[in-house]
Structures are given as C-alpha cells and as structure tokens.
Amino acid sequence: MAIEIKMPALSPTMEEGTLAKWLVKVGDTVQSGDIMAEIETDKATMEFEAVDEGVLAAIAVDEGTENVKVGTVIAMLAEDGEDAGDVSLPTGAPAAAPAATENTSTAEAKSAPAAAPAPAPAQASAGDRVIASPLAKRIAAQKGIDLASVSGTGPHGRIVKADVEGVDASAAAPKSAAPAKAASPAQAANEFDAPFEEQKLNNVRKVIARRLTEAKQEIPHIYLTVDVRLDPLLALRKQLNASLEADGVKLSVNDLIIKALARALQREPQCNVSFRGDVMHQYSREDVSVAVAAPSGLITPIIRDAGRKGLAEISQEMKELAGKAREGKLQPHEYQGGTVSLSNLGMFGTKQFDAVINPPQGMILAVGAGEQRPYVVDGALQVATVMSVTGSFDHRAIDGVDGAKLLDQFRSLIENPMGLVV
C-alpha cells in the first residue's frame, strides 16, 4: 500500500512551512534516512529525512510552495513490490492553497478551495491573476516570459517550473493586444515616489517580525549601560591562545563574553528568570542564546550550561553552531530554549545599542565595540580599550537594582578575567 509523505512539524511552534526544494524526483528509490527535501520552517531552513523506504511515485506539492500546513500530503511513496505507476494522490491533495501573485492577498490564497489532483493543463489565471509557483515566477522573470501566455500543468492549472523552463521568451509573448501592464517592481514608484523592489518575507523573517513586535508591545523594557575595560581580558586571551594553539583552539573575545555572562548569572541568579503571568521561572542553569546572522534571518543557537563549561569547549561549540546557523542546518534542540540572550555587534564597529528581549526570556545583553578611549585607571587618566555593554531587562521580572548588580558582576569578570578560567 502506498505511503503518504506529509509535511512534518520540524519545531514545536511550526504550523505551516515552505517546501523550499525537492532533493529527489519521481521514480527515485528512497531509503530511510535519505534527505528528501529542504523545508523552511518558522525558525530556519531544515532538511527533511525519509522515514520509510520505497520509490517516489508522485509529488503533490511543488518546490517553492508557501503556507503548506503541517500534515498536508506532499508526496506518495510506493512500497517494495508496488507499481509506482499505479499510485495516485489522495483526493483533495494538496491541501495547501496555490501561491498567488503579488496582487493577491494572503487571505485569498489561504481561502482558495482545494481541487482534485492532476487536472488537465489549463490557463493558470483568474481574471488578471496568474497562478504560478514562486519558483516558476522567478524563472519567468529571469527569462522575460509573460506568464499569462503559459499553460499550467500543476494542480489547479497552476504554472510550475517545468512549464516555463522550456519556453522561448519571444514565443511566449501575448497573442492578443492587452492593456499595458504596470511597471516592473524595480521601476514602480511607491507613495514616496522612490523606486523599489517588493520582496516576500520568508518564514523566519515573519516570525522575527511577529515576536519582536510582541516583545516591544508587551514587555516593559528597562535599559542599563556600563563601560567595561577590555585590556586585561585581551591580555589573558592572548596568553590562553598561545597555550591552546597546539590543540587547534583559538578563543574569540565573544567566547569569553559568553562565559562572563554565564558566570555573572551564577553570582546574580535573580536575573536568570522569565516572567510567566502569575508565576516566574527561576533557572538553575545558564543557557546562553547567541545571536547569529544567517541568510534567512537572525537565529540564536544556544550554549547550554555555559557557566559550567570551559572556555575551549564554549569556543568549539560556538564555532560549530555558528557554522550550522549560516548553512541553515541547525536542529531544533540547538536553537530552541535559552534562558538569556547575547547580541554582539562590536565586530561591526557599533559603539552601543539597545537590544529587544527575546520572549519568554527575561533579559538580553547588547555588546558594543571595544575602542580606545580616555579612561581613569587607579585614579590616573589613561588610554584604555573600553566597550559599552547594555542590558535590556524585563521589568516585570527583574528590578533595576538586580540588573545593575548583574552588570557590575559582568564588568568585574571582564576586568579581572582569571575568574573565567577557575
């Protein structure tokens, strides 16, 4: 009996996703553990592994399709001994509505009724609306193809990749006169009379926008800033890297900052909390979420139990997680959770900034650039390497005095960094 391959829930918060890319094609033999597709979730682009074995008999959802609900049948797998040619998609598949063009609202796309699979080729349009997959649209735009002249062979008469790949742009010109189309997005003018290109938000960017909007609307932020002298920490880092060179370990300033934040939380545990309505969660472990810029958007891999890990272990783990983040290969357990966050923009020369708390966490530490400034050391004015650090605290859970104590402990650990290695 054929096996239904359904859109998986790749994170606890995932309700729908984008089928970014198929890595197998109809007729391919699939083994358990094979990577079948890349799926863009509300957190990152992740690989989808096959659980069952068989031959891919049919694909129900084209690559590039957005808003595919969890549980939607996306493909069919013929089992051993079963003729793949006899396998058909279940009635009503796919459940996801076909993607609409830019002038169609999300509500229209989501409410479009599902139809029986494998319709006869049809002109994929409704009035002035052309129904095509995002991938087909991109290919058509690159080749200068008018989608209104292309017949779609996908579900609901939708234009898919195969429909436009072999089309000659000159042969695909409109056969009859039609009203002049609007200027391309690159040349169109918005209400400010400036050229622009319309870019669709990926799922990660949508979630970032929603969560941070909620954070600023619902969390009463309090901001506290301290200046920290870096010279002692830079000297210790140089010594440690010299001794660890043979082991292939090279500590970054950020590695030491992660450790300092975790150790400061050990000393001031009242800041390692989250507000949960009528209760607060007090954490006994320092799980530091570290902001990393990835192609799909900001993501925060986690150094778990950072207060009890050595600097070399933190460094190696951070390098691995950052690499995975930039390649879109983080697993859910590597970025979900965290008790506090750290955002370091110092490497870009940013002097000081206020970060937005990542709910349900109670705080985030924003680290600016280390720069040479006049600074009083032991009562004398000197030139020192100083960085500004700002803590954003959820004032419902953390009082200003407790936030100040945490920053004082953090400054003490950076300026007396032997506390990070013992």
Hey, which residues are catalytic here? 395
Instruction: Indicate the burial class of 53 (C-beta count within 10 angstroms; 0-12, 13-18, 19 or more).
Output: middle
* 334 and 301 Cβ atoms separated by less than 8 Å: yes
The closest of 143, 134, 147, 139 to 202, measured between CA atoms, is 134
The HSE-up count of residue 106 (CA atoms within 13 Å, CB side) is: 5
What residues contact 217, with CB distance under 8 A and at least 6 apart?
Answer: none
What residues contact 177, with CB distance under 8 A and at least 6 apart?
Answer: none
How far apart CA 316 and CA 298 sit, in angstroms, is 21
How many C-beta atoms surround the C-beta of residue 59 within 10 A?
A: 20
**SS3 assignment for the chain:** CCEEEECCCCCCCCCEEEEEEECCCCCCEECCCCEEEEEECCCCEEEEECCCCEEEEEECCCCCEEEEECCCEEEEEECCCCCHHHCCCCCCCCCCCCCCCCCCCHHHHHHCCCCCCCCCCEECEECCEECECHHHHHHHHHHCCCHHHCEECCHHHCECHHHHHCCCCCCCCCCCCCCCCCCCCCCCECCCCCECCCCCCCHHHHHHHHHHHHHHHHCCEEEEEEEEECHHHHHHHHHHHHHHHHHCCCCCHHHHHHHHHHHHHHHCHHHCEEEECCEEEECCCCCEEECEEECCEEECCEECCHHHCCHHHHHHHHHHHHHHHHHCCCCHHHHCCCCEEEEECHHHCCCCCCCCCCCCCCEEEEECCCEEEEEEECCEEEEEEEEEEEEEEECCCCCHHHHHHHHHHHHHHHHCHHHHCC
